[in-house]
Amino acid sequence: MNDEPKRYHHGDLRRALLDTALEMLSRDDGWQFTLREVARRAGVSHTAAYKHFSDKADLLAELALVGFERLREALIAARPAEPESLRVAYLEMSAAYVQFGTANPNLYRLTFSNEARISANPRLKQRADAALQVLIDLFVGGQRAGWLRERDARAQANAAWAQLHGLVLLMIDGLLDEPIAAASLAIMLEGLEA
Amino acid sequence: MNDEPKRYHHGDLRRALLDTALEMLSRDDGWQFTLREVARRAGVSHTAAYKHFSDKADLLAELALVGFERLREALIAARPAEPESLRVAYLEMSAAYVQFGTANPNLYRLTFSNEARISANPRLKQRADAALQVLIDLFVGGQRAGWLRERDARAQANAAWAQLHGLVLLMIDGLLDEPIAAASLAIMLEGLEA
DNA sequence: ACCTGAACACCGTTCAAGT
DNA sequence: ACCTGAACACCGTTCAAGT
């Protein structure tokens, strides 16, 4: 027999709620969904969510955690195994960053929306740092290989991160089109090269 | 006699509502105020606002307009009359940009929040472009004076804008402190210089 | 013309109660 | 342990009505 009458959500309503919210972020426009709507789509009463999240901000923080993690994975996936130049590695990874943001505008916005108070949340701050670390590693490696101007790699990584973050948000907002964003990336790269 | 009993808001409730909202943005934390609260603080029934704004998004769009205008003014005010180098002009103006954003976090966030659908609103798009134009002018002048690498000035301006935008947002979110932001600006500048 | 009050369809959150 | 239903104090928006 199959189990149409749902039996207490196989014990993982928490996961189900997160997945439902992530799906809403990927489909709908806007990241400002309501808790009640998430519960509704998960097929559960809206008060059930409070057994798994202390409040809406808590749910948002959990989703931001996922956002930072996926961003980090996207950067790592784009990192060439044996880069023959900073140019290649940087262009691949920055393109992956912009691609991730523009392909997941709602999740990206939510991740950085600070409804979740990123800097006050140690777990979130740590995941943000983990994503940034991928860029720092890139620049540390680039300097070691002599491809980069010798400046503080952390500052270089933050300079790049800020630009990538800004590019993604301006593109999401329709204030910057792809060709100009690509030209901006090239200008940044050129300025970093040795 | 003085006029404690308010008499229909001197005919400019629209202005009063905008000013009240701007004051709330400068005082409170968060930019997600409610329409009802604005009306309340302006001493008027919450439905009165609808005589002056078609809906809440319309009010937000008007505030974003103010945000872009003030940003432009801050950049212009920081522009040296007779810059003796790109370095001086760029550092002054980029510092002014970051200063504006971090000093007015709620207004800055709201301006770029896109609740007002910037790119779909011709007036807003135009003001955003006007603010960007100040940076473009800086780079056009910088190239003419031979201080800048000869690249498309518009792309250079957008590269800088994206970084400034990202820096401000990351700083507001507590993900970047002032020293690293300053180092990031210096790295960007260095990369642009001839 | 400009503003109000009641009303509608929502929210987030709490809490006693059910299984 | 996990979920529900009713309730509370809010929203944004509409609309008939007042001056």
CATH of the domain at A24: 1.10.10
Name the amino acid, one letter, at B162: A
| Rounded average pLDDT over B104-125 | 89
Band (B4; pLDDT cuts 50, 70, 90): very low
Which pLDDT does position A115 carry in this prediction?
78
Residues A41 and A120 reside in one and the same domain: no
**Rounded distance between C-alpha atoms, residue B47 and residue B168, angstroms:** 35
- Whether B3 and B77 map to the same domain: the answer is no
The answer on B138 and B116 residing in a single domain is yes
Mean pLDDT, chain B, rounded, equals 91
Confirm whether pTM is higher than 0.95: no
Nearest-nucleotide field for A37 (CA, C1'): C11
Residue B64 DSSP SS3: helix
Structural domain containing residue A151: 56-192
Number of domains within chain A: 2
| Residue A6 confidence (pLDDT) above 60 | no
Nearest to B155 among A162, A170, A183 (CB): A183
Q: What average pLDDT does chain A have?
A: 91
The span from the CA of B13 to the CA of B52, in Å, is 8
Final residue before a domain boundary, out of A32, A53, A74: A53
| pLDDT reading at B127 higher than 70 | yes
B86 and B3 co-located in one domain: no
Residue nearest to nucleotide D4 (CA to C1'): A45
Within an 8 Å CB–CB cutoff, is residue B180 touching chain A? yes
- Is the separation of the CB atoms in B142 and B194 below 8 Å? no
Indicate the pLDDT class of residue B10, thresholds 50, 70 and 90.
low
Q: Mean pLDDT throughout B11-25?
A: 92
Residue A46 has pLDDT above 50, yes or no: yes
Q: Do B72 and B162 lie in a common domain? A: yes
Q: What is the CATH number of the domain that holds A158?
A: 1.10.357.10
Q: Is B158 exposed, middle or buried (0-12, 13-18, 19+ CB in 10 A)?
A: buried
Rounded to whole angstroms, the Cα distance separating B123 from B113 reads 16
Q: Is the pLDDT of residue B129 over 90?
A: yes
> CA angle, corner A129, sides to B115 and B99, nearest 5?
55
- Which residue type, as a one-letter code, is found at position B190? E
Nearest nucleotide over every DNA/RNA strand to the B32 CA, judged by C1': D11
Residue type present at position A56 = K
pLDDT digits (tens, 9 = 90+) for B19-66: 999 999 999 778 999 999 999 999 999 999 999 999 999 999 999 999
- In chain A, residues with a C-beta closer than 8 Å to the C-beta of B183 are 151-152, 155, 158-159
Gap from A50 CA to D3 C1', Å: 10
Residues in chain A closer than 8 A to B155 (CB atoms): 180, 183-184, 186-187
Rounded distance, CA A136 to CA A154, Å? 6
Measured CA to C1', the nucleotide nearest A48 is D3
Contact (CB<8Å) B151/A181: no
pLDDT of residue A3 exceeding 50 = no
